[in-house]
Amino acid sequence: MRQLVIAERVCLIGHIVSMVFGLVGILLVVPNAEIIMNLTEVGQTAMQWSMAGGGVVYMILGATAVFLYAYRTLGLGRALAFLLPSVFISLGSELSGTSTGFPFGHYSYLSGLGYKIAGLVPFTIPLSWFYVGCVSYLLARAGLEVDKKPSLLRHVGAIALGALLLTSWDFVLDPAMSQTSLPFWYWQQPGAFFGMPYQNFAGWMGTGSVFMTVAAFLWRNNPIKLERSQLNVPLIVYLSNFGFATVMSLAAGFSIPVLLGLLLGVAPAVALWWQGTNGQAVTVDAGTPEISVAKVKVALK
């Protein structure tokens, strides 16, 4: 278990460092080409590598960290029961969106995010749906199930809140990433919300709700009882990715999407994290299946 925690922590730290490195490259180096010319040979090589594969690395590390966390806290079966639906359902939505315009609108991916599946969707995109979707759903479900059994109402609430947290991240990320000096995708029919069509948000809510519903069904009615300290990783992943999107948006002059994201994403995420149990043990009625939680605390130092 200790080796698993170490691997998870290394991937998490690498994920965050990669995002910071990417921000420096996108916001400082790319707009100022003379900076690259003044770097040493090693620096130029590192920057070229960052521009060519930095986006791929940070998403792979993020997905790996979250999968290891889910495996450690929920078990392999439930980790896979979220990974597989989220990856394949989001990939189906992305392939449909890039080829038909449904459900997000008409858009296309550019280079910088890795090999494109069917020449349309970078393989890293479904991974990002998985890891941000997983932490969003876990925060929502754990926060709503504190000292309570799962119920239909709580299941629906967790799916709705989880999808909202996921979509709120996109409020902030999408305008900047499609209009930066080094865009990663572009809208063929720009919309009214800072270049994005409102249809995009419906597509995000719908896609997130579908794979979270499938995961909830596969997890069955087992309660998710995570202590607040055990929700640190989901919160760190969510806030760090939101922070990346925030810096990008503010640099592009988009403050309203950031405010919306803070209101609809960050505030609920922190509140749900705070709702996590503080006790040493979790009690459930006899005969009620329970997810076994490893007693390991992970924190960035």
Residue 164 located in a structural domain:
yes
Residue 1's pLDDT is 80
Specify whether the backbone of 114 is left (phi greater than 0), alpha (psi in -120 to 50) or beta.
Answer: left
Residue 81 located in a structural domain:
yes
Query: Structural domain of residue 169, as residue ranges?
Result: 76-274
Residue 289 located in a structural domain:
no
Number of domain units in the chain: 1
The whole-angstrom separation of Cα 104 and Cα 160 is 18
3-state secondary structure of 224: coil
Token duo for residue 203: 């597509």
Residue 256's pLDDT is 95
Contact between 177 and 252 under an 8 Å Cβ cutoff? The reply is: no
pLDDT (tens digit, 0 to 9) for every residue of the chain, 301 residues total? Answer: 889 999 999 999 999 999 998 887 777 666 566 666 666 766 656 656 555 566 899 999 999 999 999 999 999 999 999 999 999 999 999 999 999 999 999 999 988 788 999 999 999 999 999 999 999 999 999 999 877 777 889 899 999 999 999 999 999 999 888 887 677 898 988 899 998 999 999 999 999 999 999 999 999 888 887 889 999 999 999 999 999 999 999 998 999 999 999 999 999 999 999 987 664 433 333 333 444 444 444 333 3
Distance of CA 204 to the CA centre of its chain: 12
The whole-angstrom separation of Cα 89 and Cα 251 is 32
**Nearest-CA neighbor of 223 among 162, 285, 280, 163?**
285
Using CA atoms, how far residue 267 sits from 86, 135, 178, in Å, is 24, 15, 25
Residue 207 located in a structural domain:
yes
Token duo for residue 131: 């890891």
Residue 237 located in a structural domain:
yes
Residue 138 located in a structural domain:
yes
Cβ atoms < 10 Å from Cβ of 213: 17
Residue 146's pLDDT is 74
Residue 284's pLDDT is 35
How much helix, strand and coil, in percent to the nearest 5, is found in the chain? 65, 5, 25
Specify whether the backbone of 164 is left (phi greater than 0), alpha (psi in -120 to 50) or beta.
Answer: alpha
